[in-house]
Amino acid sequence: MPKDDPRTEAYGTVDEAVSCLGLARAEILALEGADTLPRALADLGPTLLQLQRDLFVAGAELAANPDAQDRLVDGQTRVDEAMLERLEELLAQAEATVEMPREFTVPGADRVSAALELARAVIRRAERRVISLDREGMLAGRWLLPWLNRLADLLWVYARLVEQAGLGTTETVRT
């Protein structure tokens, strides 16, 4: 498959998001090692690792040869409804603990939230690539697109959670 094939673009973008989440996770591990990670963020590292693994499932679905898509396995090589439901639960839990900002936030208050914002932006790009594939009838399942959408939402909320945990200062932009 050519490097600029729409399918390659989509799973390559998902792969970028895995790396961005790895950056956020590495920053969390550094804070843990320095014993400076706020208690409110104790579960974030393992959660990000699980999201990275889930992104591998999304990447597998996107990389599957169209002729072999009937061999994909829900939750292992194809995003399924249970994966979306887990994201929804994580999102609801995070939203319950975060005060939503009233203005646009500027990424960079701290390294963890900035890495989460970068991952969110890359996921949004992946989502746009997947929308193009969907328009052409090239998706194997029906859960990947809503899953990417909710993942980006979750990462935005996690960035706010990190900022509000006191790792840095939050700048806002009034519109």
Give the tens place of pLDDT for each residue, 49-87.
Answer: 999 999 999 999 999 887 788 898 999 999 999 999 999
In whole angstroms, give the CA distance from residue 118 to residue 23. 10
Q: Which of 45, 46, 52, 51 is nearest to 30 (CA)?
A: 45
Instruction: Write the CB contacts of 149 (distance below 8 Å, at least 6 apart in sequence).
Output: 127
Sequential DSSP letters for 106-126:
ES-SSHHHHHHHHHHHHHHHH
Task: Measure the CA–CA gap between 175 and 172, rounded to whole angstroms.
Answer: 10
- The residues with which 171 forms a beta bridge, in sequence order, are 106
pTM: 0.91
Q: pLDDT-based confidence at 104, cuts 50/70/90?
A: confident
